[in-house]
Amino acid sequence: MIEIQLNENTAEDVKAIQELRAMGISDEQIQEWYNNSQKNTRQEKQTKFEVKDVVCDYGVFENGELKLILNSRRIALEIVELLEEDERIHKEFKPLDVEDLGV
């Protein structure tokens, strides 16, 4: 049984798992490969939200890119907290068993 995380790459992951199984690779080796690939993906996709002064207002930045300008620093900080909480929740999806997907 192989457990995978639901994310934007789930279909690609399932296809890769099917190909690895077709090559005769054991589920244990596939799980190890998958876990390592997910660790690397999470490290690469770490989103950083921050608030910075923008002219006379406040900007909400995502990975250094300006996304939103607000008059209130307090509201900008609250938005960043919400975005970070949403990102944290997304990363904590319960693993999905590949067999649940018919693989």
Write down the pTM of the prediction: 0.47
Q: pLDDT tens digits, the chain, 103 residues: what are they? A: 666 655 556 677 778 778 888 888 888 887 887 777 776 655 556 778 888 888 889 999 988 889 999 999 999 999 999 999 888 887 776 555 556 566 5
Q: Beta 49-54 vs 65-70: how paired, if at all?
A: unpaired
How far from 96 is each of 16, 25, 35, 41, 64, CA to CA, in Å?
A: 15, 20, 13, 17, 33
Calculate the dihedral angle through the C-alpha atoms of 23, 26, 30, 35, rounding to the nearest 10 degrees: -170
Report how many domains make up the chain: 1
**Domain limits for position 10:** 3-101
